[in-house]
Amino acid sequence: MSFIIRWLVGVLAAWLTVQVGQMIGVGLSWGGFGKALLFVLVLGIVNAIIRPIVKLFTLPLTCLTFGLFAFVVNALFFWLAAVITGGVEVRDFLAALFGSVVLSVLSGIINSFVKLRPNRRA
């Protein structure tokens, strides 16, 4: 059940990210609710499978840039998920960078309001 709630929180955060991006003209557009569900699912899978490997290989560069290269990696994963699903259309790299940062912030804020209790079965 918590997976579904977290997934819906991610969809809400993605929708808000695109709305904020459209308001300030960043270059994000929406592909529909069904594609948004798929976008968040693909983004989660990409972050779960590919991210640890990429973080390992980019660790020296991330340390050299005092952690700022992690923003580039996040933007590339955001863009990759958008290309795979077509749920969020990203115009350029700066739009992907903006989208990844805003999505992270909004997901954190929304998750702080949605407190999930662990399953306690005796």
The beta strands (E) that lie in the chain are given as 28-30, 88-90
Q: Are 31 and 86 in contact (CB under 8 A)?
A: yes
Strands 28-30 and 88-90: antiparallel
The whole-number pLDDT of residue 118 equals: 61
pLDDT for residue 122 is more than 80: no
Rounded to two decimals, the pTM is 0.83
Query: What tens digit of pLDDT does each residue of 60-94 get?
Result: 999 999 999 999 999 999 999 989 988 788 889 99
The whole-number pLDDT of residue 17 equals: 87
DSSP state of 63: H
Query: What tens digit of pLDDT does each residue of 16-64 get?
Result: 888 888 887 777 787 777 888 888 899 999 999 999 999 999 999 999 9
